[in-house]
Structure 1
Amino acid sequence: MRHILTLIFLLIIKEAVMAQSTDWTTVFIPKDGRTEVRHLDMVFTFPNYTTRAIWESRSEHLRKRILTSTGLYPMPERCPLNPKVTGKIEGEDYTIENVYFESIPGFFVTGNLYRPKGKQGPFPAIANPHGHWVHGRLENQELGSIPGRCINYARLGFVSFAYDMIGYNDSKLQVPHTYGSDPKGYLWGISLMGLQLWNSIRVIDFLQSLPDVDPDRIGCTGASGGGTQTFMLMSIDKRVKVSVPAVMISAYMQGGCLCENAPNLRIDCFNVEIGAMMAPRPMLMLSCTGDWTSHTPEVEYPAIRGIYQMYDAVDKVKNVHVNAGHNYNQESREASYGWFSKWLLGVGDGNSIKETPFELPNSEDMLVFPDGKLPENAITGDQLMAYLIDKAKSQILSLKPKDSATLQAYRDVMGVVYQYAINAKQPETCDLKIEKVNEEKRDNYRLERLIIGQKSVGERIPSLLFVPENPTGAVLIVHQFGKSALADGDSPSPLVKGLLAKSKIVLGIDTFKTGETALISRNESINHFYTYNLSDTALRIQDILTGLAYLQSLAYTVDLIGLDQAGIWCLLARGLARNVNKTIIDANQIDYENDDVWVKDLFIPHIRKAGDLRTSSVLIAPNKLYIHNISDSFPSEWFRDIYSVVGSPESLHIQAEKMSDQGILNIYKE
């Protein structure tokens, strides 16, 4: 009965879809695999990395994934830290200094610096990011005491810095913990997670700058959200020599806060892989029975231990599993004391060291800004956003190619950001899956109805293939309304007819959520959707690349034509495409400098940080490129400059007016 009802439902949907389309252009698609979304609470499986070389290639990919998704590729310029001490507490065998410094001009990292007293340095140092405790770095309770931990580190002979998450304690005077959730910021690679990771990088800079710290002996530890900060930092900063991420490396939950979810971060990976990037440096994984790390001894730890085994370094990774809820309690802290002592002090066997009792100063005395007033040079959240966007723009301009050497340098740097922003790739022929639904012979051409996709992805792209009697080349045409735009009543459109007359095979496709796939829906209401899933625009670009790959598999010279709003999709796709002869782009009067337009019509996280159309031009040149229907804000001069640098100015044609179908066909007379 269930199967009968399902069949009836599919037939109803089919009729509804066909009713929306010109009958002869319809290719019924029952399902597209991309409707299934990734999310933070799904169960992930650690891949089987069979060799160290395979793992290291994957690790390099993950490093670029992390840096690009957090807006840190290429790495920003480091400003002077300008550290200041606003107060000091003298303990019997330790001191606590209330410190702030600038990670970005006018944007502060605030925290407490714990130092040994009565011992001779230089000392190893430990960075201590915190989780979502109510009192942040000042939390002191049974499940976790950050000051108690840092006091014990100082007594053991470590300099220790406990610093605020953005929007906690002193930091909340500047911006809230909800900062960085604006889609406009995402265009420019700005996120709360990215800012926190940058702060952590600057914390290492700060610790290494201290005269009583050995810069080659740096560790990092934190629990929960602080555990996320720990493994994110250790994965991309080799200066972290020893780590203790607590209750956060999990295959079952990836972190639920904005500060743990940068757009694009987990498109194709998860936290256990990121944690494994610590290998072969010493890492203690703290887990517990009462949260999402309850499976660590039999799931996450063996997976990561397998990576350490590739380096003959299994002695450098360990799991301590405590019977408690989500925590960094005394038992967990004592495990960290022994681990850091072995690997940073050269003392002990790495097993737990008993904690000494501690009494905490008044928390008010540990605030950096006890009067609630920021320094005069403090910037606001809006000023921070404007500064970061301006820096991103300046970075692109500073890298603008001037000759062949700088052209390649731009491709090597911004090309990576561009690739990781869009997350699309032209498939190899062997990866394609082509289903022919039917075909019919028409006047002077053959019409094939196809479903195009990739074997490993599960997308199903409805397609129409027009094949003339003696083809000499092929053209992919993309329109915002899909392949039905290639019809004129019961016949092909004048553009298609003209191309067929010139012996060109023509392929029309319904890119993601256009044409027959317009009714596809994904659950975009899940938390941090773009951390785990590509945007609609990015998926459309992938479909364009898949369409190009199919045409190239037919062994013809291939051209690309983008019409109306799909013109910009095609221009972005062309930067990632191989072996395309001519590209003809309708710029659709794009208001290029307006971020609202990019958010509404062309949303791809990080795309503006990646140089958007400008980077596409660098990747396309010196191939033939025709752009029409441009606005005054279109970066025409940049395009012309790039084509001059590559020595092919004649290959670029830009015009303000919109080309007619005949105008496009006239290009084929050249």
Structure 2
Amino acid sequence: MRTIPTNRYYPSMGHLLDVYDRGGRRLGFDAEDLSEYEDWKKTARSKLTEITGIDQMETCDLQPALLESVQQNGFQRDKMAIQTEPDVWMPFYLLVPDDLKAGERRPCVIAPHGHGIAGKYGVAGRTDIPAVKDAIEKYNSDYGVQFVKRGYLVFCPDARGVGERREWTGQSDQESDLLKSTCAQLNHMAISMGQSVTGMWVWDLMRLLDYIATREDCRADRIACCGLSGGGLQTLWLAALDDRVRCAVISGYFYGYRDSLLKLSNNCSCNYVPHVWQHVDMGDLGALIAPRPLLIETGDQDPLNGERGLANVTEQFEITNKAYSLLGAADKLNHYIFEGGHQWQGAQSYEFVDKWLQ
């Protein structure tokens, strides 16, 4: 034996939980009327923009470029790229339904991806790539394809650190690298610069919104954002900080930070933003979306819900629900709980988006 037995460990988890309980959620939603809500929303958004590093992001010309076009069954898949910051490029798939007529404008869906599906490939249904095909079957993650088949123009971007935007440690064609991310490496660099992966992701999606507004085939006033897991993170934060998102579907990413990210601290680094737990919980981010339509989708066996399971989810939903009720928009907030684990279920998602965008 080359080690020695350890009879006792001395971790810091208990202390950090106590610090969280004493000092967390300082900007939590507690408005009693519309005026208080608007004041809270302005203050919370300002603080979140600061701590994510979004206020440091540099604007630039988008310089949209069409890289390839491939005809699929019922839609065209265009690969494009835009410049989101100087010399920072975001590739994405634009899925265009075949029945789009010349001069017609359609509602749009931004479909950000989660982890383990090779970024945009998994959302845009690249079943011709065997590793991606397996991931799609596991997570039911080709929701970009499902939306384009319902007539939407669908944007499936690569988030920084994923897909074709992996940092140096993940730049290989090996399956293990293709399906993984370099979020940790990117967040190490970002945090040390006063930024965050979350902020980078949200900024890039804001720039994608800017691009959508320039297109003559898009209804810029009818844009939904819908995503699973890390795509749910992107959807939650983007909708919370940008009113141009008119409708949102968040799947597999709505629960209390204490149980799901503090106790489960081995989750991906992209979840971690300096000081965020001191100011808000996920329910407060949801409250920032009110009164715009929001559907939250939760698997009752999703391990990311934490040790208390659905109780950790419904607590946050109730925070959001209070905001929607205050604004007279309770009918625009849905929580769909299904039997299953960490995957996109979609049983109510497509009809929900149709109801509010079509």
**TM tier, smaller:** 0.7 to 0.9
Change (3 A) 1:153 1:34: closer
**2:260 corresponds to which of 253, 261, 279:** 253
Change (3 A) 1:296 1:284: farther
1:195 aligns with 2:206: no
Residue 343 of structure 1 aligns with which residue? Answer: 356
Once the two structures are TM-superposed, the CA of residue 209 in structure 1 deviates from its matched residue by: 2.0
Change (3 A) 1:49 1:37: same
Once the two structures are TM-superposed, the CA of residue 163 in structure 1 deviates from its matched residue by: 1.2
CA contact (8 A) 2:25 2:277 kept: no
Residue 323 of structure 2 aligns with which residue? Answer: 307
Once the two structures are TM-superposed, the CA of residue 294 in structure 1 deviates from its matched residue by: 2.4
1:323 aligns with 2:339: yes
Change (3 A) 1:298 1:142: same
1:128 aligns with 2:111: yes
Q: How does 1:61-76 map to 2 (within 5 A)?
A: 61-73=43-55, 76=57
Residue 103 of structure 1 aligns with which residue? Answer: 84
What SS class does the counterpart of residue 290 from structure 1 fall into?
coil
What SS class does the counterpart of residue 152 from structure 1 fall into?
helix
What SS class does the counterpart of residue 320 from structure 1 fall into?
strand
Change (3 A) 1:239 1:132: same
Q: How does 1:188-227 map to 2 (within 5 A)?
A: 188-227=193-232
Residue 84 of structure 1 aligns with which residue? Answer: 65
Change (3 A) 1:47 1:343: closer
CA contact (8 A) 1:180 1:190 kept: no
CA contact (8 A) 2:254 2:316 kept: yes
Unaligned runs of 5+ in 2: 1-14, 123-132, 170-181
CA contact (8 A) 1:246 1:285 kept: yes
Unaligned runs of 5+ in 1: 1-32, 346-670
What SS class does the counterpart of residue 303 from structure 1 fall into?
helix
Measure the CA separation in 2 of the matches of 1:344 and 1:149: 17
- Amino acid across the alignment from 1:324: G
Measure the CA separation in 2 of the matches of 1:59 and 1:98: 36
Once the two structures are TM-superposed, the CA of residue 181 in structure 1 deviates from its matched residue by: 3.6
Measure the CA separation in 1 of the matches of 2:29 and 2:68: 49
Change (3 A) 1:307 1:85: same
1:228 aligns with 2:233: yes
Q: Which has the higher contact order (CA 8 A, sep 6+)?
A: 2
* Of 203-212 and 279-288, the range deviating more from structure 2: 203-212
Measure the CA separation in 2 of the matches of 1:169 and 1:186: 21
Once the two structures are TM-superposed, the CA of residue 192 in structure 1 deviates from its matched residue by: 1.9
Give CA deviations for 1:610-661 in whole Å, capped at 9, x if unaligned. xxxxxxxxxxxxxxxxxxxxxxxxxxxxxxxxxxxxxxxxxxxxxxxxxxxx
Once the two structures are TM-superposed, the CA of residue 276 in structure 1 deviates from its matched residue by: 1.3
Residue 30 of structure 1 aligns with which residue? Answer: none
CA contact (8 A) 2:25 2:278 kept: no
Measure the CA separation in 2 of the matches of 1:35 and 1:226: 27
Instruction: Work out which of the two has the higher radius of gyration on C-alpha atoms and give 1 or 2.
Output: 1
What SS class does the counterpart of residue 340 from structure 2 fall into?
strand
Give CA deviations for 1:513-543 in whole Å, capped at 9, x if unaligned. xxxxxxxxxxxxxxxxxxxxxxxxxxxxxxx
Residue 289 of structure 1 aligns with which residue? Answer: 300
- Amino acid across the alignment from 1:101: I
Change (3 A) 1:220 1:296: farther
Give CA deviations for 1:315-348 in whole Å, capped at 9, x if unaligned. 11111111100111xxx22421101111111xxx
- Amino acid across the alignment from 2:183: H
Measure the CA separation in 2 of the matches of 1:221 and 1:134: 16
- Amino acid across the alignment from 1:58: W
Give CA deviations for 1:246-305 in whole Å, capped at 9, x if unaligned. 121212424832222221222221111111111001111111101206237743333322
CA contact (8 A) 1:196 1:259 kept: no
What SS class does the counterpart of residue 310 from structure 2 fall into?
coil
Once the two structures are TM-superposed, the CA of residue 37 in structure 1 deviates from its matched residue by: 2.8
Change (3 A) 1:85 1:47: closer
Give CA deviations for 1:557-579 in whole Å, capped at 9, x if unaligned. xxxxxxxxxxxxxxxxxxxxxxx
What SS class does the counterpart of residue 276 from structure 1 fall into?
helix
Q: How does 1:472-621 map to 2 (within 5 A)?
A: none
**1:177 corresponds to which of 141, 164, 183:** 183
